[in-house]
Amino acid sequence: MHDSIGFDEIGKKFATLSPDIFKKMMEEGVKSPTKKFTELMNRLIELDGQEGKLDEKISCLDSLDEFAKPGHPAPWYYKGVYNYEQKNYEEALKYLDKAYELEKNLVRDGNYNQQFDDDMVENIWFGKSIALGELGRIEEALTCIDQALKLNRTETVSWSTKGKLHIQLGQREGAMRCFTKVTEMDPKSHLAYEAWDNLGSLFTQQRNYEKAFKCYDKSIELNPIGEGWYNKGVLFTELDKHEEAIECYDKATKGSADPEFDQGDAWNNMGVEFHKLGKHEEALKCYDKVIEISPTNEKIMHVWANKAEIFETLDRDNEVFYCRIKMIRLDPDRTRASLAIEAVFGDSYDENLSDEELLKIALQRLAKK
């Protein structure tokens, strides 16, 4: 489910400059554009999207200050954007707050351009919302996104953000209303695909499986290589429909347009389903695929444990011990692997030994039993 406050796609949209909008906002805030101003502005646009480069971006903005009208918020706003991009969320909030203060002063003093100033304030509230979300200050983030929506009720990215915040607060009905709005307002977009996925997960939590399946089908219709197949497989798993689940997980492994989706999850779940059906060799192939393509997957400990269980069933002791060695290596706190250590090595375990040396010790202990 796309419910994490990682806001990956949303954050990228905030942190990526639109050259036309950027030029408009900056030119609105300068006394008189010059050649140097244009050069600095174009350099900023060149730097946009490049990882790092924060110091150079801030330096360019500082240099632009000499051209700015006194008290104009645009440079401060973009300093907030760049700090957000670098995950400096507290700093981003400071700059956005400063931009908002300056914007209020402009309006108070009668220097008001309705379209420009409303857009600026909306963007400030939106930026504050996702920065606060990243910091786990969810209720404050929700207040900010509501302020952004007061200025623009048709911005689907704000409705999507609000839905994700509702999920974090456990407010299922509020989340459903927001995601439904996204699907109605922008039905062919990437955000709509995400919204259908999220709605499917929320209906699954309510055990309304019929509606959940319909939502996942809508998601798949919009993005046939997205996460919808995986989520549909999870639903079949929950209903103990193993063959149907395997079919969905298999389709989820064929490719994904979503960078957040780890195909290792689909391979792992498919292995579990084969395991339940007693199809051990098929399950082992799936688990091996997880290890190959997703060695840092959060479920990797379970993958090795599942392999060990299958090898125990097949009386393949060498492989059982090898899997337990891998479990121990992956468990730096030794909490979940402590039983494996005791069962295999007793007092003979030494983490400085190689896998091959540990396996030799395990087999020697087995031969003595």
Which pLDDT tens digit goes with each residue over 254-293? 876 566 778 899 999 999 999 999 999 999 999 999 999 8
- pLDDT on residue 13: 52
Candidate ranges 24-28, 48-52, 110-114, 282-286; pick with highest mean pLDDT = 282-286
**Range list for CATH 1.25.40.10 in the chain:** 1-170
Out of 92-106, 161-175, 231-245, pick the least confident.
Answer: 92-106
Query: Long-range contact list for 305-313, CB < 8 A, 24+ apart?
Result: 306/271, 306/272, 306/275, 309/275, 310/275, 310/280, 310/283, 310/284, 313/280
Residue percentage of the chain with pLDDT more than 90? 47
> Which of 186, 183, 167 minimizes the C-alpha distance to 217?
183
pLDDT at res. 5: 46
Return the pLDDT at 144: 97
List, for residues 85-142, the tens digit of each pLDDT value: 888 999 999 999 999 998 888 777 776 566 667 888 999 999 999 999 999 999 999 9
Q: Which CATH class is domain 1-170?
A: mainly alpha
Per-residue CA distances from 361 to 197, 338, 344, 346, 350 (Å): 49, 17, 9, 10, 10
* pLDDT, averaged across the chain: 83
Question: In this structure, what token pair is assigned to residue 306?
Answer: 């599942």
pLDDT of 351 above 80: no
Average pLDDT on 348-366 reads 69
* Residue 311: pLDDT over 90: yes
Is the pLDDT at 47 greater than 70? The verdict is yes
pLDDT of the residue at 40: 79
* pTM passes above 0.75: yes
Identity of the highest mean pLDDT range in 54-68, 176-190, 243-257, 332-346: 176-190
pLDDT of residue 3: 45
Greater pLDDT, 79 or 132: 132
State the pLDDT at residue 244. 97
pLDDT at 41: 77
What is the separation of C-alpha 265 from the centre of its chain, rounded to a whole number of angstroms? Answer: 15
